Amino acid sequence: MNPETEYREGLEQLAAHYKEIIGLLGEDVSREGLEKTPMRVAKAMQILTRGYKQDPHRVLTDAIFEEKYSQMVIVKDIDFFSLCEHHMLPFYGKAHVAYIPNGYITGLSKIARVVDIYSHRLQVQERMTQQIKDCIQETLRPLGVMVVVEAQHMCMQMRGVEKQNAITTTSDFSGAFNQAKTREEFMNLLRGDR
């Protein structure tokens, strides 16, 4: 799906619902500045949730290569944007992913695509972190996977406690990363320690 030109079924219904919501908020949906807003919001929501129509396992299997490399592979600072499922407000940040191959590697961009797919769904950061780890573990069957996600949540910044500088960090790991030494190596490499 090209998010700027192709939209999923239900676009017109979404726009109709957003028109009603705008009216319920107390606005005049017929005024010039809001006339096209319901459709714009419907299109934006379909773009922001396009991950429901994408298969992250397939993304990885489309670029699997046999390789005897058995050291840590890290793709860090993967920018992402997602929508909190509790308030449908954005959360955004960086994901850092490491895996230790077990005879097979994948294209590096595919790791970023997996992050992209899971982040383009209604989410909580904790589940997204686990889904990324599980997908890589199940598909590549590496010796281990570790995922660290750092994010700022607009639901904490714009409403509720209104804490502008709070950053939430989540992590999940499997296999070789169950060893503290391996996790520590990953964290040192993230920080740039040698």
84 carries an active-site annotation: yes
85 carries an active-site annotation: yes
Give dist(CA 104, CA 9) in Å, integer: 37
Which one from 46, 135, 153, 185 is the annotated catalytic residue? 153
Which one from 85, 126, 138, 184 is the annotated catalytic residue? 85
87 carries an active-site annotation: yes
Which one from 125, 131, 137, 185 is the annotated catalytic residue? 125
Which one from 87, 130, 152, 157 is the annotated catalytic residue? 87
| E-state strands within the chain | 64-66, 73-84, 90-100, 104-106, 122-123, 144-153, 168-175
Which one from 130, 150, 155, 157 is the annotated catalytic residue? 155
Which one from 13, 35, 86, 184 is the annotated catalytic residue? 86
How far is CA 128 from each of CA 8, 69, 81, rounded to the nearest angstrom?
23, 28, 11
Q: What is the chain's length?
A: 194
Which one from 84, 123, 135, 137 is the annotated catalytic residue? 84
Q: Indicate which residues carry an active-site annotation.
A: 84-87, 125, 153, 155
